[in-house]
Copies of this chain bind each other. A is one copy, B any other.
Amino acid sequence: MARATSTPAGAYAGRGMQIQTVGLRGLKTPVRVREKGGRLQHTIAEIAMRAALSEGSRDNCVEILTAVLNEHIDALSVTSFRFILSRLQDALQAKSVRLEMTFPYFIDKRAPVSDTHSLMEYSCTFSGGIGDDDGFILAVAVPVTTLCPCSKEISAGGAHNQRAEVTLRVKFRNFIWVEDLISLVESSASCEVYALLKRPDEKYVTEKAFNNPMFVEDVVRKVAVSALADPNITWFSAGVESFESIHKHSAYAYVDSRELS
């Protein structure tokens, strides 16, 4: 979808149509992301981008995005993401640009007792704008275990528990590592989740969750307390969806730091 010189679009211009944005969605591309440990991790990002273009610059967004990405996707980080935004704005002569990149991110975790290594996958999103909205949001989706306090209290044995997913989104002052956000979340649930557990590990996580019952609102509250305690985090939202083992629907809790009094 390149741009014709005589686009009929002008016919509908009418009132105040200057701030609409145009771009693309669903473009996948290999990227390398800087890990906290220093290495570069190979992964695959799904990209959405849109820009408020001025009249004189109806160029091919995809071509420009591809060119700019190709310069920088070999070492993606919070820092280089901001640089990509700035380069895109220049290249597109845009009033504003928004860019979102979502990718699987792997961390080498060690099982709690046997210390066995395995790669655990998380979903991570870099999302930011330049121009009208200069915000940058880092988001992680982290699987955890929740164990129901009520079920434990009323039952003669056991307690229903299940996988849950915590989505934490933050704005921050300085640099922040994905790894640190994930740790913040993993320490806020009944137990964390692993790709590989031996039997002593399975005993450990079962007992840990059983001794640490939490409703979804308890998890969201604990995430919020940790996020509020970090002076580097200037805004956050946290949602916890628990795929209840006794229901077909999910329990859900949500908090936005702007609404906290």
Contact = CB atoms under 8 A, between A and B. Distances in A.
Contact of A1 (B151, B211, B225, B259): B151
B210 A157 contact: yes
Contact of A244 (B19, B28, B163): B163
B241 A25 contact: yes
Contacts of A214: 8-9
Nearest to A222: B12
Contact of A207 (B155, B194, B256): B155
A18 interface: yes
A132 interface: yes
Contact of A28 (B23, B104, B196, B211): B104
Contact of A156 (B30, B116, B120, B207): B207
Contacts of A12: 218, 221-222, 225
Interface residue tally on A, bucketed by range:
35 or more
B1 A145 contact: no
Contact of A21 (B27, B121, B158, B253): B253
A206 interface: yes
A250 interface: yes
Nearest to A142: B248
A9 B221 contact: yes
A148 interface: yes
A62 B203 CA distance: 17
Contact of A252 (B25, B121, B191): B25
B218 A27 contact: no
Contacts of A251: 1, 22-25
Given A19-B260, A157-B211, 20 more contacts: A1-B148, A1-B150, A3-B150, A7-B149, A8-B214, A9-B221, A12-B222, A14-B225, A17-B260, A19-B259, A22-B215, A23-B251, A23-B252, A23-B253, A27-B195, A30-B119, A154-B199, A160-B202, A163-B247, A193-B248
Interface of A: 1-4, 6-9, 12-30, 42-44, 48, 50, 60, 62-63, 66, 104, 106, 116, 118-121, 132, 143, 145, 147-163, 191, 193-199, 202-203, 205-207, 209-211, 213-218, 220-222, 224-225, 228, 241-256, 259-261
Interchain residue pairs A-B with the least CB separation, the first 8: A158-B210, A42-B42, A16-B260, A20-B255, A155-B206, A4-B150, A19-B259, A27-B249
